[in-house]
Amino acid sequence: MPNPQNILPTGYNAMNNEESEPLSFSTTLKSQFALNNIRIQSNLLSLTTDTTTYVNLARYLKEHDFDRCLTISATDWLDTNEFEIYYLVHNLKNNIYMKVAVRIPRKKPELTSLSTVWESAAMHEREMWELFGITFVGNLMLKPLFLEDWTNLPPLRKDFNWRDYVAQEYYKTEEG
């Protein structure tokens, strides 16, 4: 017969019927940062914030044992003319993951760097700068990593036409 504790979702303590760390931490975040959109799925908390709050939120997370920045990535929302930048951090002590997203305009994609909060953020931001053209203000590593001689649009932007690029770069016909 299966152990009843193994079939309960993470974030629920069957021994004392109390909510565990993810739910209580989300309540704290809501009160500290006036956030109303925190979603909890097992031991993952997800939220979207604005550009004025996200650095302070990152510092708060770091102060509360979210010591590992696992990734920073981006989604290009061409239809709304925005980029969504998100970072995923981990609190090993309580085994909580946190995904924090922020949206910025595509026409001037610029955001303050989180490399002063987590050193490892610098390399992730470098990738987003190179592949999406997003500038992370304060990141001193923003230089080509993969695309040293690249002069086209950043290749992961949705308005980059890879078919045209391949046709021009690799299937040029010699005129003569």
pLDDT in tens, 115-129: 999 999 999 999 999
* CATH number belonging to the domain at 4-170, selected among 3.90.950.10, 3.40.50.720, 3.30.460.80, 3.30.1360.120: 3.30.460.80
Work out the average pLDDT over 77-88.
97
Domain ranges of the chain: 4-170
116-138 b/e (C-beta count within 10 Å ≥ 16 → b): ebbebbbebbbbbbbbbbbbbee
Residue type, 124: H
CB atoms within 10 A of CB 150: 12
Q: Enter the pTM of the model.
A: 0.81
What is the chain's length?
A: 176
Measuring CA to CA, how many Å separate 130 from each of 37, 74, 109, 133, 134?
30, 12, 12, 6, 8
Q: What is the pLDDT of residue 8?
A: 35
Q: What is the pLDDT of residue 17?
A: 33
pLDDT at 67 over 90: yes
Of 48 and 37, more confident: 48
DSSP 8-state secondary structure symbol assigned to residue 16: T
CB-CB contact of 57 with 99 (8 Å): no
Q: What is the pLDDT of residue 158?
A: 95
